[in-house]
Structure 1
Amino acid sequence: MNYDVIIIGSGPGGYVCAIRCGQLGLKTALIEKYDALGGTCLNVGCIPSKAMLESSEHYHNAKEKFSAHGIHLDNLQISLSEMIAHKADVVKKTGDGVKYLMRKNKVDVYYGVGSFLSANKVRVTANDGKETDLETIRVVIATGSKPSSLPGVTIDKKRIISSTEALALQEIPKHLIVIGGGVIGMELGSVYARIGAKVTVVEYMDQILSTMDKALGKELQKPLSKLGFTFHFNHKVTGATNHGDKVVVTAENKAGETVSFEGDYCLMAIGRKPYTAGLNIESIGIATEKGGRIAVDENFRTSVENIYAIGDVVRGPMLAHKASEEGVYVAEQFARKHPHINYRSIPNIVYTWPEVASVGHTEEELIANGIEYKSGSFPILANARARMNMDTDGFIKVLVHGQTDEILGIHMIGPRAADIVGEAALAVNDRCTADGLSKVVHGHPTFYESLKEACLAATGKGAIHF
């Protein structure tokens, strides 16, 4: 079978690329290793984790907040199996939607491992061993990533688990040890802390969310501590051992002393690494970079002229929405359009509660680069809607150029930050000024009017309600 484009991997980069190629009239094939479309994001990442975060937050609110609203519940219970069943239902319906979109856009789907026979020929090996050879003008590699680990730590999928297993546990952990203070650890730690688990975080750096604006991680630590998290910073994990019904994690602290932590589960959450196993990229000369990333140019072309790569297998943040935009970019490039991606306006979101979201430059980046800037912030405590909802932790911080007032970065922690950051991303993308954004009428009472207030503070005029 001959195609204009073959895409290997059906995650948010691959399937979105396939849809756009189909819309543009390109004969397209999509190859997926597993039986379900959607990749890590849909099946064992973004979608299921957010479904469980939502469920656990409902339980937590019923337990901790409903009585203040005059709502009293007797014999409140949590069913982990039903929570996981809801998660599975969300995943299935979303996956079915992706299948429908493939049919709608006339994309041929092949299930099996895709590997290169040459730059223009790809073999699909199905689970039953059946082989199908496909020919194409172009190939897009979108095979995503898999969980990383550390020397001395083997993910056995029983007691020492990755995010995949954490989304399908059969019991609520009594004591969950989380290795890594990044997004995955804080989100999944939140799920289980809300429903009764003790959570201990062991982190190599000196704070959580260390890659984001420093103020965000420091602020998030406060509500997580109230939830029952304990944190051990500046600890280098040296090992983790499964002892049947318990796990012992060893680490070296800042003083060089060896300390140990004992729990019934250990979640390895130090991040992810590019996944290219089985592609046979070496045989056709595709160059890779440090960490196993596929090297690409500014148009996502690899060292082989007709082969492209997007998403987690290439440089940049490992975010589903980043991969999707790259998928659209290469598809439109194939159709000789003129696509564009502004990486500075890609938001980064943590779906804890309060939510954390960020776009543009961090304050640390501006300082390191010697860029003159001004900062304005607004506390969520001063927001009327937040007080109604009893969600008053956090702030919104706006960073602007010291001379031009152009918005350089917006960082927020608070209720619905994941939604508010959409306006912030637009402001950064369109190079808005804080003065300009402060003049936009925002609805009241809303969470997002706090962004207007932070912009007023950044301009020097001063927030109205603080």
Structure 2
Amino acid sequence: MNSYDVAVIGSGPGGYVAAIRCAQLGMKTAIIEKYDTLGGTCLNVGCIPSKALLDSSHHYEEAVKNFEAHGIEIPGEVKVNIEKMISRKQGVVDQTTKGIEFLMDKNKIDVYHGVGSFKDATHISIDKDGEIQEIEAKRSLIATGSKPSTLPFIKLDKERIITSTEALKLKEIPKHLVIIGGGVIGLELGQVYNRLGAQVSVIEYMDRIIPTMDGGLSKELQRSLKKGGMKFYTSHKVKEVTRKADKVCVKADDKKGKEVSFEGDYCLVSVGRRPFTEGLNLDKAGVKLNDKGQVEVNEHLQTNVSNIYAIGDVIKGAMLAHKAEEEGVFVAETLAGQKPHINYNLIPGVVYTWPEVAAVGKTEEQLKEEGVSYKTGQFPMRALGRARASMDIDGFVKVLADEKTDEVLGIHMIGARTADLIAEAVTAMEYRASAEDISRMSHAHPTYAEAVKEAALAATDNRALHV
């Protein structure tokens, strides 16, 4: 039986990063993955493939709608080859997952493929198609991630009534894609197929899309996506989903209680994700779950069993790949006797639609609820020379700062490349910058980043220069 200092169950961004950091710190490390490829949901059926399709569909939309304005003329009709687009996406996934294999090999991490389950707190059984191996681990890390959620009355057939996993490999462009859920995943995949020619209807139970983000971002994103042809039905409660041949019927009640029906050829159920702990045999190790099915952990990400830790989607908090990565490094460094830290308030959230949406820190709604006195500065993207040059004028940057101290409490942005711009906001807030600090930093011209400086100026005695 092979023995290890650390065994990591799950090879998503949290798991594989934790394994690498453990190995870097001198621990003999094993990683266990139930699927044949490493990388978990994010690399195989989540972040990476969805971004590949978003980029491909964006190129197509630019060719159809905007090339002419740039003086680029394409003879004949621009067409979509969905099979080739899906194939390119898979190529990106394959290249990325192979990169993880290389990193495991480089860091001398033993990889086991199969379903890992606890025999007790220090022994893990690995079942690969009926062949059982057993390893011993002084410490274990649960990083098994999450699976798509559904509603109790919906039967997913994974053909016409689908999750994000199936939406990433459709063999045709839907005529009418009905999406249940106006969160990140639904909006991103909705925009992909809307660009390619599908009619897209988004049904959201809450009164706005991306309901956990700042209300201003929600309003601006809906306006922009609506301009692109997507339709939105907020404050609608779905109550029935049925399929007949190639048609799917979705029935919902609007906010007045009136029944509304939607008929499409595909229905994407995108109502969030749930922790995935099936098959782990946590009871054999004595590990407790909370009432939401999450693994319970303390501030050190340690379960009630002292040598077993858990990270990522399987514990409380935002279900984000980069949150899981931070937690993976945190656990590895904790095991090595170091004193790492994570500020959960400073883990950014991003929606990779176009315009992109990104945010870090408190929203206006949260500050109001907490009774915090704050000031706000906002700057429109359309006022930037760079935005006009690229024809990406939708969006804005909003800076929220403490009314008395001027410390930045939250930065919310929507526009071109905000997924990258948000790192500036995280850096500033990590060092507890004031709005004036940001406003006095030089920003290259012309760039989208100038909107961050201008919003900070607007929050500092309304001093924005270009509006």
TM-score range, shorter chain: over 0.9
Q: Measure, in 2, the Cα distance between the counterparts of 1:218 and 1:154.
A: 32
Paired residue for 1:85, among 72, 84, 87? 87
Q: Is the Cα contact below 8 Å between 1:151 and 1:239 reproduced in 2?
A: no
Contact 1:145 1:274 in 2 (8 A): yes
| Aligned partners of 2:121 and 2:286 also within 8 Å | no
Secondary structure of 2:353's partner?
A: coil
Q: Please give the alpha-carbon distance, in whole angstroms, between the structure 1 residues aligned to 2:218 and 2:378.
A: 16
Within a 5 Å distance, the mapping from 1:48-447 to structure 2 comes to 48-74=49-75, 75-127=77-129, 129-447=130-448
TM-score (normalised: structure 2): 0.99
Q: Secondary structure at the match of 2:13?
A: coil
Question: How far apart are the structure 2 equivalents of 1:315 and 1:281?
Answer: 17
What are the Cα deviations for residues 251-272 of structure 1, in whole angstroms up to 9, with x where unaligned? 1221222221100000001110
- Give the deviation of 1:291 after TM superposition: 1.8
Alpha-carbon distance in 2 for matches of 1:284, 1:461: 58
Cα deviation code 1:66-87 (max 9, x no counterpart): 1111001122111111111110
Q: In the TM superposition, what whole-angstrom CA distance separates every residue of 1:78-107 from its partner, at most 9, and x where no partner exists?
A: 111111111001000100100000000010
C-alpha distance in 2 between matches for 1:145 and 1:184: 14
User: Per-residue deviation at 1:287?
Assistant: 1.1
Provide the rounded CA distance (Å) in 1 between the counterparts of 2:460 and 2:256: 44
C-alpha displacement at 1:35, in angstroms?
A: 0.2
CA contact (8 A) 2:13 2:325 kept: yes
Alignment of 1:22-41 (within 5 A): 22-41=23-42
Give the Cα–Cα distance (whole angstroms) in 1 for the partners of residues 367 and 150 of structure 2.
32
Could you tell me how far apart the structure 2 residues matched to 1:322 and 1:372 are?
29
- Secondary structure of 1:455's aligned partner: helix
Task: Provide Cα deviations, 1:122-180, integer angstroms capped at 9, x if missing partner.
Answer: 000002x1101100100000000000001211211000000000000000000000000
SS at match of 1:291: coil
- Residue pair 1:59, 1:194 contacting (<8 A) in 2 also: yes
8 Å CA contact 1:141–1:307 kept in 2: the answer is: yes
Alpha-carbon deviation of 1:461? 4.2
Is the CA contact 1:394–1:413 (under 8 Å) kept in the aligned structure 2? yes
Deviation, 1:250, is 1.1
Provide the C-alpha distance between the structure 1 equivalents of 2:41 and 2:459, rounded to a whole number of angstroms: 39
Aligned equivalents of 2:165 and 2:48: distance in 1? Answer: 12
Distance 1:154 1:214 in 2: 32
For 1:265 and 1:282, how far apart are their aligned partners in 2? 39
Amino acid at match of 2:108: K
Contact kept in structure 1, 2:358 and 2:413, CA below 8 Å: yes
Deviation at 1:239, TM superposition (A): 1.6
Counterpart of 2:231, as a letter, is T
- Amino acid of the structure 2 residue aligned with 1:82: K
In 2, the alpha carbon distance for the partners of 1:328 and 1:291 equals: 25
Q: Is this contact kept in 1: 2:377–2:462, CA < 8 A?
A: no
Q: State the AA in 2 paired with 1:98.
A: I
Q: Which stretch of structure 1 is more off in the superposition, 333-342 or 107-116?
A: 333-342
Which sits farther off after the overlay, 112-121 or 251-260?
251-260
Give 2:463's aligned residue: 462
Q: TM-score scaled by structure 1?
A: 0.99
SS at 1:396's partner residue? Answer: strand
Kept in 2, the 8 Å contact 1:153–1:239? The answer is yes
- For 1:119, the aligned partner's letter is A
How far apart are 1:43 and its partner, in Å? 0.1
Q: What CA distance in whole angstroms lies between the structure 1 residues aligned with 2:358 and 2:155?
A: 32
Q: CA deviation at 1:284?
A: 2.5
The C-alpha deviation readout for 1:359-386, integer Å capped at 9, x for no partner, is 0000000000000100000000101100
Percent sequence identity is: 57
Gaps of 5+ in 2: none
Q: Which residue of 1 aligns with 2:17?
A: 16
Give the distance between the partners of 2:25 and 2:403, measured in 1 at CA.
44
Runs of 4 or more, structure 1, over 3 Å off, are none
For the aligned residue pairs, the C-alpha RMSD in angstroms reads 0.7
CA distance in 1, matches of 2:215, 2:227: 20
Aligned letter for 2:333?
E
Secondary structure of 2:220 counterpart? helix
Separation in 2, partners of 1:297, 1:464: 47
